[in-house]
């Protein structure tokens, strides 16, 4: 087992870090405070193929391996978790399912605009009565000739306020509950598609999370992704990949909080010496760096399994569970190390603290990750 990153991964990390530091760092405080989506930075990300990470080269994408993908999300999230969120959701659950399950015509039509960032992708599963219970979806699609008419409301849609292409889960009649849902590719200029108000959230404030409304939304049967009734299969495949991205995002938040804590502990004087000289602070820093290393290894294992074509769902769940919990623990310690300053918006650790919590919720709550992991354990012969 080789624990040394290859030159390609070093180059990816260096490139993304330089971009994030030069383009995102100067505006990250303001876009968080104002809850503003930075279109000016998005334009600069397009030619770098950040929006085509999971898309084949034949359709204009980068076709990056999963570790390069995870590094990209980590480095973006280290500076702006909200932009890291935009990119990972776009790639992993917005574009990736089309690349995996789409017809040749669907790939040719939708993937180039997604790869180029002309359309930002969204994943529309959550509803008022359907979050962790994906089977509670109430949005429905009724076939009418060569079209489907979609009616329903999706809530807490990441990228919802700016999405150009949305994957929408809707019920299509089936006696088998496992085949009840289907997935439709819906573009934002489709009649009957509308965007609700942007949510005023605790963290990830620069990402325009919103509700999406579908009122007699007419889509061609050619926009059905996969086969009718494939919703569960497509959703599970997308979420496995999405969990790698959210794990990487959480890892980036933790890394940023750790680096800020090391720097502050060397500068902050108490009792006429830097607080880094105190054993308690050293213990915090030791725990932080150890947990970050452990999290990164869990994440990269899931990536390696995916890239070699082996099942990776339980490993992705473990990475997501551990990395999201790590982000919460590390940012909490970072605030503690900063003391009163850590609770002030003048310091970045306050934002890291707010951003970290939601990584335990979306793309499957920590409780759902434990269910996935436990089922994998219990399915093994004793």
> Rounded distance, CA 97 to CA 224, Å?
12
pLDDT band per the 50, 70, 90 thresholds, residue 1: low
pLDDT digits (tens, 9 = 90+) for 354-371: 999 999 999 999 999 999
233-378 has the same fold as 122-231 = no
Q: Kind of pairing, strands 120-124 and 163-171?
A: parallel
Q: Is 363 a catalytic residue?
A: yes
CATH number of 122-231: 2.40.110.10
SS (H, E, C) 224-254: EECCCCCHHHHHHHHHHHHHHHHHHHHHHHH
pLDDT band per the 50, 70, 90 thresholds, residue 208: very high
For residue 178, the model assigns a pLDDT of: 67
For residue 4, the model assigns a pLDDT of: 67
For residue 134, the model assigns a pLDDT of: 73
Contact 250, 203 (CB under 8 A): no
pLDDT band per the 50, 70, 90 thresholds, residue 298: very high
Alpha carbon distances (Å) from 140 to 63, 92, 145, 184, 330: 34, 24, 16, 11, 42
pLDDT digits (tens, 9 = 90+) for 67-107: 999 999 999 999 999 999 999 999 999 999 999 999 999 99
**Stretch 48-52: mean pLDDT:** 97
> Rounded distance, CA 212 to CA 197, Å?
9
What are the contacts of 198-204 at 24+ separation with CB within 8 A? 198/35, 198/161, 199/156, 200/35, 201/35, 201/358, 202/354, 202/357, 202/358, 203/81, 203/351, 203/354, 203/355, 203/356, 203/357, 203/358, 204/81, 204/82, 204/85, 204/355, 204/358
Nearest Cα to 254, choosing from 158, 208, 322? Answer: 322
CATH number of 233-378: 1.20.140.10
End-to-end CA separation in angstroms for the chain: 27
CATH number of 7-119: 1.10.540.10
> Rounded distance, CA 110 to CA 165, Å?
8
> Rounded distance, CA 8 to CA 281, Å?
36
Exposed, middle or buried: residue 69 (CB in 10 Å: 0-12, 13-18, 19+)?
buried
Q: What is the mean pLDDT of the chain?
A: 95
What are the contacts of 104-108 at 24+ separation with CB within 8 A? 105/222, 106/185, 106/222, 106/223, 106/225, 107/59, 108/59
**Stretch 51-69: mean pLDDT:** 96
Nearest Cα to 350, choosing from 283, 282, 256, 268? Answer: 256
pLDDT band per the 50, 70, 90 thresholds, residue 175: low
Selected catalytic residue, list 40, 215, 363, 367: 363
Domain boundaries, the chain: 7-119, 122-231, 233-378
Contact 155, 126 (CB under 8 A): yes
pLDDT digits (tens, 9 = 90+) for 122-163: 999 999 988 777 778 899 999 999 999 999 999 999 999 999
In the predicted structure, residue 5 carries a pLDDT above the cut 80: no
């Amino acid at each position: 087992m080789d624990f040394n990153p290859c030159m390609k991964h070093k180059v990816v990390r260096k490139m993304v870090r330089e971009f994030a530091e030069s383009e995102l760092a100067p505006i990250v405080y303001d876009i968080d405070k104002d809850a503003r989506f930075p279109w000016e930075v998005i334009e600069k990300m397009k030619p770098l193929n950040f929006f085509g990470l999971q898309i084949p080269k034949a359709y204009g994408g980068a076709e990056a391996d999963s570790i390069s993908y995870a590094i990209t999300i980590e480095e973006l999230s280290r500076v702006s978790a909200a932009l890291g969120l935009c990119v990972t959701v776009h790639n992993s659950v917005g574009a990736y399912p089309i690349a995996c399950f789409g017809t040749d015509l669907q790939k040719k039509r939708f993937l180039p605009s997604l790869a180029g960032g002309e359309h930002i992708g969204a994943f529309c599963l959550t509803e008022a009565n359907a979050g962790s219970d994906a089977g509670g979806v109430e949005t429905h699609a009724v076939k009418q000739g060569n079209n489907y008419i979609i009616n329903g409301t999706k809530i807490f849609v990441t990228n919802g306020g700016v999405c150009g292409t949305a994957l929408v889960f809707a019920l299509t009649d089936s006696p088998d509950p496992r085949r009840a849902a289907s997935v439709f590719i819906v573009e934002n200029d489709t009649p009957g598609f509308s965007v609700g108000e942007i949510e005023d959230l605790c963290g990830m404030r620069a990402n325009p999370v919103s509700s999406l409304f579908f009122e007699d939304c007419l889509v061609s049967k050619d926009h059905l992704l996969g086969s009718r009734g494939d919703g569960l299969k497509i959703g599970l495949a997308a979420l496995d990949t999405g969990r790698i991205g959210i794990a990487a995002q959480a890892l980036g938040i933790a890394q940023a909080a750790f680096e800020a804590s090391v720097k502050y502990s060397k500068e902050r004087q108490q009792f006429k010496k830097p607080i880094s000289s105190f054993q308690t602070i050293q213990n915090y820093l030791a725990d932080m760096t150890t947990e970050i290393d452990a999290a990164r290894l869990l994440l990269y294992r899931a990536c390696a399994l995916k890239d070699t074509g082996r099942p990776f769902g339980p490993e992705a769940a473990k990475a997501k569970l551990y990395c999201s919990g790590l982000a919460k623990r590390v940012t909490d310690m970072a605030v503690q190390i900063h003391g009163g300053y850590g609770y002030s918006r003048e310091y970045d650790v306050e934002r890291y603290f707010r951003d970290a919590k939601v990584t335990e919720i979306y793309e499957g709550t920590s409780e759902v990750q434990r269910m996935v992991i436990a089922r994998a354990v219990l399915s093994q012969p004793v």
